[in-house]
Amino acid sequence: MSPGTIASSIADGLLIGIVYGIAAMGLSLIWGVMSVINLTHGALISLGMFGVYLLFTTFGLNPYLALIVVAFFGLLLGVLIYLIAIARVIDAPHLSSLLATFSVNMIIIGLGTAIFTTTPRDTGFSLGSVQIGPVTLQGTRLVAMVVTLIVAGALYAFLYRTRTGKYIRAVANNRAAAELMGIPSTAILALSFGIGTMLAAIAGGLISTFFSFTILSGGIYELKSFIIVVLGGLGNPLGALVGGLILGVLEGVLPLTMPNTWVPVIEFLLFVFILLVRPSGLLGGK
Amino acid sequence: MSILEIRDLAAGYGEVQILWGPSLSLEEKKLTCLVGGNGVGKTTLLRTVMGLVRPWKGSIRFDGKDISGTPAYTKADLGLVLVPEGRQLFTEMTVEENLEMGATNRRARPNIKKNLERVYTMFPRLKERRWQKAGTLSGGEQQMLAVGRGIMAEPIVLMIDELSLGLAPVLTLQLFQSLRQLRQEGLTILLVEQNVQMALAISDYGYVLAEGRVEMEGPARELAHNPHIRAAYLGL
């Protein structure tokens, strides 16, 4: 095994890992703000993939412009899902919201399978590649990393610098007190769910520029998101990005030493191990 | 003139009725206190007025308008502000962010700078700790922040639930003095307290709540000298 192969694997892993990270960030944000485990996450990642794919293949829209459209509709869809399916069970025990998001997931997957079938799709989009020493980096993956960093930075600026962002943190911290201050908490929760959904859709859209996919592909990334969120600490969106990088590098490097089929086994062993020794996550505070 | 008028209020949780028809009336620009033992419904009364608990019966009129049953987040816009029991701060946010959240409502938002100065003048400790997370403050500082956050909302009526709870006597005294100052500046205050003696000492008018009903009411000075109150609540 040459150092060049290892370097390539690590670079690939980092580039893909950061995209996993942004998907996990959405999951983590929703949990952090409203303590809902969003089982719609995978389906929304899939919808993001189809959104970019369809806008690109039918209208010839540049995938990165398509991504803006997808992000907007992702936000809207998330707000709708919250208001229709989750708002009424938000104060019920966790199982209710878990089942509510699971139901929405089944609806999307069912409709998606009927409309799109499960034949793999591929955008067939390419930006060429960059050669740095022995390492070849695909253009689409580099752009995906840049987009992810911009989105993550924008999310942080939004949460810490804007009034609405501070409302989200206030509602996450103490919903009853936020209501007393005059913050309409239902609207803020709907917005937070929308942002979480938007992050899932953006991640899906980015992934669709370099991997083929079906309506079911999102499920795999949802599972990865759970591992990442546990790595990074549930409810800690920045931790999710770091967790994504860790998982990405593992996925890059592990196949060099063992058959590919063993990779998920190792990943989930890690998941269980962290849950056992550090249930709050590697970077989790509480 | 009375600004907040509560009539025959009934409320509770699930099947359990807590409030059995108390009626209260808050005089404008006066400090009114609501005292009574543990579990007589003082906090439930405040939560019902704010809309965190739905009233079963009775009316709550603020400035002449019936506000019973309207959601909690609409109360701050009216000028009805509660400093809740247990402070309920945004512990993960900084002191200044907490104060900023206090100024969410429409009337207070344009005056946020002026009110920040007002709060920092009243509680200089908060200014020293403005970038610190609220959860890292001491109990007394947290109570100052809770009151400060209430002031940021530019209340017309400020309701405070258990100002002195868990505080050292010297801090309690300091906070009670700030209340007097606010009252002199023309704020209408409803103070809910277990520390009956101190509450009656600084108030203009008092209500005694027992088993969800108003047991007694009158000018605070008279209540403080009432033999029944002295025996039941002051241990004299």
Tell which of A167, A181, A188 to mutate to test the B interface (max B CBs under 10 Å): A181
> Contact B79/B28 with Cβ under 8 angstroms?
no
Min Cα separation B131/chain A (Å)? 13
Give the model confidence (pLDDT) of B9-50 as tens digits: 999 999 999 999 999 999 999 999 999 888 899 999 999 999
Unique residue bearing structure tokens 């942080």: A156
No. of helices (H) and no. of strands (E), chain B? 10, 11
Chain B residue numbers with beta carbons less than 8 Å from the beta carbon of A182 are: 73-77, 104-105, 153
Task: Name A121's bridge partners.
Answer: A213
Task: Name B61's bridge partners.
Answer: B5, B66
Nearest C-alpha neighbor of A125 from the set A45, A74, A66, A43 = A66
For A133, phi and psi rounded to 5 degrees? 60, -130
Contact A174 B89 (CB under 8 A): yes
DSSP one-letter code for A61: -
Contact B101 A185 (CB under 8 A): no
Interface confidence, given as ipTM, is: 0.90
pLDDT tens digits in sequence order for chain A, 286 residues long: 688 888 888 998 999 999 999 999 999 999 999 999 999 999 999 999 999 999 999 999 999 999 999 999 999 999 999 999 999 999 999 999 999 999 999 999 999 999 999 999 999 888 888 888 888 889 999 999 999 999 999 999 999 999 999 999 999 999 999 999 999 999 999 999 999 999 999 999 999 999 999 999 999 999 999 999 988 877 777 889 999 999 999 999 999 888 989 988 999 998 899 889 888 777 765 4
Q: Is the C-alpha dihedral spanning B181, B80, B106, A75 positive or negative?
A: positive
Chain A residue numbers with beta carbons less than 8 Å from the beta carbon of B86 are: none
What span, in angstroms and rounded, lies between the C-alpha atoms of A51 and A69? 8
No. of helices (H) and no. of strands (E), chain A? 11, 2
What span, in angstroms and rounded, lies between the C-alpha atoms of B47 and B88? 13
Architecture of domain B22-232: 3-Layer(aba) Sandwich (3.40)
Nearest C-alpha neighbor of B135 from the set B85, B97, B83 = B97
Tell which of A162, A180, A186, A236 to mutate to test the B interface (max B CBs under 10 Å): A180
Nearest C-alpha neighbor of B85 from the set B24, B23, B31, B41 = B41
Q: Is the CB of A91 inside 8 Å of chain B's CB atoms?
A: no
Other CB atoms within 10 A of residue B114 CB:
10
pLDDT of residue A284: 62
| A244 burial via Cβ count (<10 Å: 0-12, 13-18, 19+) | buried
Unique residue bearing structure tokens 């962002």: A165
Pairing of strands B16-20, B2-13: antiparallel
Q: Which residue of B has its CA nearest to A170?
A: B90
The whole model's pTM is what?
A: 0.92
Domain boundaries, chain B: 22-232
pLDDT of residue A170: 97
pLDDT of residue A183: 96
Q: Tell me the one-letter amino acid at B60.
A: I
Chain A residue numbers with beta carbons less than 8 Å from the beta carbon of B92 are: 169, 172-173
In sequence order, what E strands does chain A have? Answer: 129-132, 135-138
Min Cα separation B60/chain A (Å)? 17
Nearest C-alpha neighbor of B76 from the set A185, A181, A175 = A181
Other CB atoms within 10 A of residue A46 CB:
30
DSSP one-letter code for B35: E
The DSSP string of A128-161 is: -EEEETTEEEEHHHHHHHHHHHHHHHHHHHHHHH
Other CB atoms within 10 A of residue A165 CB:
17
pLDDT of residue A286: 46
Q: Is the C-alpha dihedral spanning B79, B1, B66, B19 positive or negative?
A: positive
Chain B residues 24-53 with a CB less than 8 Å from chain A: 50, 52
Min Cα separation A48/chain B (Å)? 33
Instruction: Please work out, in degrees rounded to the nearest 5, the angle formed at the alpha carbon of residue A36 by the alpha carbons of A34 and A39.
Output: 145
pLDDT of residue B57: 95
What span, in angstroms and rounded, lies between the C-alpha atoms of B231 and B224? 11
Task: Establish, for the pair of chains A and B, how many residue pairs have beta carbons separated by less than 8 Å.
Answer: 68
What span, in angstroms and rounded, lies between the C-alpha atoms of A20 and A31? 17
Lookup: tokens for B37: 């033992």
Q: Within chain B, which residues score under 70 in pLDDT?
A: 236
In sequence order, what E strands does B67-164 have? Answer: 80-83, 157-161
Q: Is the CB of A169 inside 8 Å of chain B's CB atoms?
A: yes
DSSP one-letter code for B74: G
Q: Is the CB of A50 inside 8 Å of chain B's CB atoms?
A: no
Contact B73 A179 (CB under 8 A): yes
Min Cα separation A162/chain B (Å)? 11
Unique residue bearing structure tokens 């203009």: B204
Helix or strand run (H / E) with residue B141: helix B139-152
Domains, chain A, ordered by start? 3-277 (1.10.3470)
Chain A residue numbers with beta carbons less than 8 Å from the beta carbon of B73 are: 179-185
Residues with Cβ within 8 Å of A255's Cβ and at least 6 positions away in sequence, in order, are: A9, A263
Lookup: tokens for A17: 């890992």
pLDDT of residue A285: 56
